[in-house]
Amino acid sequence: MSTLDSFLADAVPACSESGLRALAYKAILGVIAELRIYDHPGELRLDECKLSGDLRVSRTPIREALTILEHQGFVRRRPRHGVFVVKKTRREIIEMVYACAALESMSVRLACAKATEAQLGALRASFRALYEADPTGGYHRYFEARWQFCRHAATLAQCAEILSMLNHLLLHLRSVHETVFRQSIDLAYLRAAYRAIIEALELRDAELASRLVLERGFRFARDIESCGDCF
C-alpha cells in the first residue's frame, strides 16, 4: 500500500449503507491529493459526469461525497459553474503547517512514553530514505518519507484523535508539500532534521524530539513564505 493509500484507507469508515459514498469519497479525495493544484494558475474543476463514469457509480454517491468534501474544505460549489478544488491562501497554509507541527510535537512526546523498544528501534529501517545521500527517485522519496513520518509518529503515540486530525491536515497540505519540495526544499537539511528527530525518539528524549519537530515546522513555514508566487 502506498503512503497516500494508507491515508485514504482511514478516510471514511466503511459501512453497508454508505459503501458507494465511501468509495466515491476516497477516490475523489485521492484525485484531489494528486492534482498538484498549486502548479495551476486557475481553479481546477471536477467533472461529476466523468467521476461517475470512471468510478462506475451513479451520480448520487458522487454528489454525496462532494458534499462531505465541501464541508471539509476540499472543494467549493459555484452555482451554474460546477465544483472546484479549493486552493488555500498562503496564510491559511502556514496556519495549517503550524497546527500540523503542534500535533506532531505532541505525537513524538507521547511516542517517547508509549512506543515499544522494537517500534522505536525500527524507525531507521522504516525511514531509510532519510539515511541515503542520494536515493533513486530523488526528492520524491524524501517527500514521501517526510509525509509519512508525521502520521507514523501519531500511530506510535497511540492517540486516534491526533491521527485523525493529522490525516485531515496532511491531505490538505499534500499539494503544498509537493510544490515547495520541488522548488525550494533543502534536502540535506531535511535528512539531518529527521535523523535528529529519530535519534531523540530512540533515546526517549521527549523534550528534544518535540523541540526538533517544532523547529522543522517553523522552517517549513518560512519556506512557504519565501516560495515566490506559488500560493
pLDDT at 164 over 80: yes
pLDDT at 163 (0 to 100) = 93
Cβ-in-10-Å burial (0-12, 13-18, 19+) of 217 comes to: buried
Q: State the Cα–Cα distance between residues 90 and 112, nearest whole angstrom.
A: 33
The answer to whether the beta carbons of residues 97 and 169 sit under 8 Å apart is no
pTM of the model as a whole: 0.84
- What digits encode the pLDDT tens for the residues 2-23? 556 655 655 554 433 468 888 8
Averaged pLDDT, 198-202: 98
Percent over 90 (pLDDT), the chain: 49
pLDDT at 228 (0 to 100) = 66
Residues contacting 195, CB < 8 A, separation 6+ = 130, 131
pLDDT at 33 over 90: no
pLDDT at 15 (0 to 100) = 39
pLDDT at 2 (0 to 100) = 53
In three-state secondary structure terms, 43 is: coil
**For the range 203-207, what are the long-range contacts, defined as Cβ-Cβ under 8 Å and sequence gap of 24 or more?**
204/112, 204/113, 204/120, 205/112, 206/108, 206/109, 206/112, 206/113
- What digits encode the pLDDT tens for the residues 50-95? 988 988 888 899 999 999 999 999 999 998 889 999 999 999 999 9
